[in-house]
Amino acid sequence: MAPLSSPPLQQLLGNIRILLNQRDPNNSFWSDQELINYLNDAVALYFLECVQANEGYFTTTADLNIVANTEAIDLPTDFFEAKNLWKKISNGFAPLYYMNTLTEGYSTQGGTANESYLPQYMFRKQQLIIRPTPNFSETAGLKIEYIQFPDTMVWGGDSLTNQISPVFKQLVGMYAVYKAKLKESMVNGGNMHSIPESNMAALYTAFKHALQRRSKGPTYVTPFNPEV
């Protein structure tokens, strides 16, 4: 018995074509590239829902180097959103704070390699900006915890990201089927997409309910009471 695993793109395409009843991509209303686009769209939407749950999905860490006389540090290529940024100190890591005001100046006094250098930070394009500018270099002087955007599947051997539970690979596939049948409805007239849309909605509901159970933390809801 084998554990559930994330399928490669070629297998996902095959599963979709079985449901569409057009197994031969050379004799099909939908090209492979079109279906691949739908699959990647599904992964992106899955990703956004996971991020909203704030339960650690698509979260990773990376070490960043401090370079003397340089305030801008390139972020990882898959960077989407920062969760924490720390400066390495002798006994661990100290948290750094986001520079969230537009009305204050900033010091140009360069920081030294001792533990007193705890800069503020902000973002500019795909770079992290730390101020004051350091006057020393330190390998892996910063550690960032961030939400990583999933890779795009391109080739048949590319796997569905392991950040997506194999249990919900059906949801990704059914979204692609729904988009394919929606195109058919729009091109040929009629309604060809209602059944896959209904199936996708049921899978999506199960997915949404499962997302926030990762931490097992209770959720308390305050009942509405107009008399209070």
From the list 51, 49, 18, the residue with the least C-alpha distance to 168 is 49
Find the length of the chain: 228
Give the pLDDT confidence of 1-35 residue by residue, as tens digits.
Answer: 767 778 899 999 999 999 999 999 999 999 999 99
Residue 119 to residue 132: CA distance in whole angstroms: 6
Task: Tell me the CA distances in angstroms from 201 to 40, 209, 226, one per residue in order.
Answer: 18, 12, 34
Q: Are 166 and 11 in contact (CB under 8 A)?
A: no
Of the candidate ranges 41-50, 169-178, 215-224, the one whose mean pLDDT is the lowest: 215-224
Q: Which two tokens stand for residue 215?
A: 């931490």
Using CB atoms within 10 Å of the CB of residue 117, give its burial: 0 to 12 exposed, 13 to 18 middle, 19+ buried: buried
From the list 85, 72, 167, the residue with the least C-alpha distance to 126 is 72
Look at 44 and 217; give whichever has higher pLDDT: 44
pLDDT higher than 70, residue 224 = no
Give the pLDDT confidence of 57-95 residue by residue, as tens digits.
Answer: 999 999 999 999 999 999 999 999 999 999 999 889 999
Residue 62 to residue 143: CA distance in whole angstroms: 6
